[in-house]
């Protein structure tokens, strides 16, 4: 089981922070001049950025988190949306508007002769809606309605054909979108996903989603101290997280810690915080301040 390296953590964290500005200088970040694409919604807000280098095999898809009031309201739409992989990608475009959004999975279609044998699970309606919101685009001179996911797929598919692999990352609701997009891409392009790294991410699906999620060993869900968003939606036992939890607390990393224990440890830290600031390691940690005087 591979670990997430420090330089990888820092790179994804920086990219997630840069998902929010209106524009970024991707060349200054080390990516190719033509190794960049933006995916926007119907309000011309950038939802996702895709970055790659020609001499590297990794393509990074970065999702922006909630910014507007509308985005935050969608976070509250925690109704279930049923997902079922029953049709090839060519037939899924017109069906994406329905709650039974079909998703491509050739391996399942080869093994299953009817829909009863295909995997079915439920995800968060709001985050699925964000990923599948539609935008009018000019394609071959014709205006067409395409979803955020379809635009991402159109960009990464030829890159996957070149032998590149996809890493997805995002902060807050962007992390939930990264989880859902990674699940869908992995089913469409097996072994195409390199890793998924999310920051402060709410749960994206129900228990059935966790059972069918294919990327548990390649998903790193990072949360810091008592980040209340990571406990959302507030329905314990109904919505559950996927992948490996990495909790950053008191200068330590706790892996796959039970949420109740995480909550307890944070409360204890709050109680003893006046004393903890007296510890010598707090003074040592702040040594860099003197370089700025």
Q: Are 151 and 135 in contact (CB under 8 A)?
A: yes
What is the CB-side half-sphere exposure of residue 284 using CA atoms within 13 A?
A: 4
Looking at the DSSP bridge assignments, the partners of residue 143 are 138
pLDDT digits (tens, 9 = 90+) for 221-279: 998 877 888 888 888 778 999 999 998 877 778 888 887 787 787 777 777 665 655 55
Burial class (CB in 10 A: 0-12, 13-18, 19+), 274: exposed
pLDDT at 280: 56
pLDDT at 252: 78
What 3-state DSSP class applies to 216?
Answer: helix
- Name, in order, each residue with C-beta under 8 angstroms of 12's C-beta and a sequence gap of 6 or more: 60, 167, 169, 197, 199
From residue 137, how far is each of 48, 71, 143, 144 by CA, in Å? 16, 22, 5, 5
d(CA 215, CA 18): 25
Burial class (CB in 10 A: 0-12, 13-18, 19+), 120: middle
Q: Are 168 and 161 in contact (CB under 8 A)?
A: no
CA–centroid distance for 120 within its chain: 21
Helix (H) or strand (E) holding 51: strand 46-52
- Name, in order, each residue with C-beta under 8 angstroms of 95's C-beta and a sequence gap of 6 or more: 87, 101, 102
- Name, in order, each residue with C-beta under 8 angstroms of 15's C-beta and a sequence gap of 6 or more: 29, 49, 51, 60, 62, 169
Q: Where are the beta strands (DSSP E) in 125-217?
A: 134-139, 142-147, 165-171, 193-199, 205-206
pLDDT at 108: 33
What DSSP character marks residue 25?
Answer: -
Cis peptide before 233 (omega within 30 of 0): yes
pLDDT at 273: 63
From residue 281, how far is each of 250, 255, 277, 284, 286 by CA, in Å? 11, 23, 9, 5, 9
- Give the residues of the chain that fall short of pLDDT 70: 1, 85-118, 272-293
pLDDT at 240: 93
Concatenate the DSSP letters of all residues of 67-117 into one string: -SHHHHHHHT---EEEEE--S-GGGTTGGGGSSSEE---HHHHHH-SSGGG
Domains and CATH numbers, the chain: 6-68+148-292 (3.40.50.1820)
């Amino acid at each position: 089981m591979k670990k997430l390296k420090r330089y990888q953590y820092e790179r994804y964290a920086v990219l997630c922070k840069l998902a929010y500005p209106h524009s970024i200088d991707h060349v200054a970040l080390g990516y190719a001049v033509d190794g960049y694409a933006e995916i926007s919604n119907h309000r011309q807000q950038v939802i996702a950025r895709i970055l790659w280098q020609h001499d590297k095999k990794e393509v990074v898809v970065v999702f922006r988190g909630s910014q507007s009031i509308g985005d935050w309201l969608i976070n509250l739409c925690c109704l279930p949306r049923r997902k079922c992989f029953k049709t090839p990608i060519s037939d899924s475009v017109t069906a994406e508007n329905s709650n039974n959004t079909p998703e491509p999975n050739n391996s399942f279609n080869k093994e299953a002769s009817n829909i009863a044998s295909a995997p079915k699970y439920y995800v968060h309606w709001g985050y699925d809606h964000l990923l599948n919101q539609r935008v009018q685009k000019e394609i071959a001179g014709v205006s067409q309605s395409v979803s955020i996911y379809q635009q991402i797929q159109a960009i990464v598919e030829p890159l996957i054909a070149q032998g590149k692999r996809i890493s997805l990352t995002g902060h807050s609701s962007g992390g939930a979108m990264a989880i859902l997009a990674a699940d869908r891409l992995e089913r469409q392009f097996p072994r195409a996903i390199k890793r998924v790294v999310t920051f402060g991410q709410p749960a994206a699906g129900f228990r059935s989603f966790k059972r069918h999620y294919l990327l548990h060993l390649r998903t790193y869900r990072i949360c810091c101290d008592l980040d209340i968003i990571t406990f959302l939606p507030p329905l314990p036992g109904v919505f559950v997280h996927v992948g490996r939890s990495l909790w950053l607390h008191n200068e330590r990393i706790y892996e796959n810690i039970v949420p109740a224990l995480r909550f307890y440890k944070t409360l204890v830290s709050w109680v003893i915080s006046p004393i903890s600031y007296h510890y010598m390691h707090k003074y040592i940690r702040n040594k860099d301040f003197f370089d700025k005087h």
